[in-house]
Structure 1
Amino acid sequence: MTSPDPVELWTTADIARRLALTQERARQLANSEGFPVPSFRHGRSRFWTIGDIEAWIAEHRPVKTGQEDQRTDRRD
């Protein structure tokens, strides 16, 4: 029997790094209306799936004209 693939979860610190924000600003976003509900909580810590966060980013933080999107700017 194989075990299911573990789901990678992000904290507000991970979200801050992904969006190039301070951790405080990431916490503010996480508390705002429309932000995904955490998938898991442990004590006071909240955790989100990467998919939920990336979907929110795609909808609410589109790349502005003239900015490079580092996620798709791969030169293999």
Structure 2
Amino acid sequence: MELASLTGSIAWQNGKPSIHAHGVVTGKDFTAHGGHILSGTVGTGSVEISVTVLDKKLERIKEEKLGANVLCLGNCPKP
């Protein structure tokens, strides 16, 4: 498989880094598959990743009403 696209965020959650990544991979037949990237190994070749650093802390907090972790930038409410 070849990694054709990778997007997402690296934030803090509960004092630890929290990675949320989506990607598209393609096979030899050019069929594409996309979704959450949960793990991976770079085989032959390499992978190039660009990271944009923000001037404020990006945090992921649990939004109870939604039942999901959401991103917060700057003055995030404390649980």
Same fold (TM over 0.5): no
Taking structure 1 as the reference length, the TM-score comes to: 0.22
Q: Which has the higher contact order (CA 8 A, sep 6+)?
A: 1
**Structure with the higher fraction of residues in helix conformation:** 1
Q: Over alpha carbons, which structure has the higher Rg?
A: 2
Query: Higher strand share goes to which structure?
Result: 2
Tell me the TM-score normalized by structure 2.
0.21
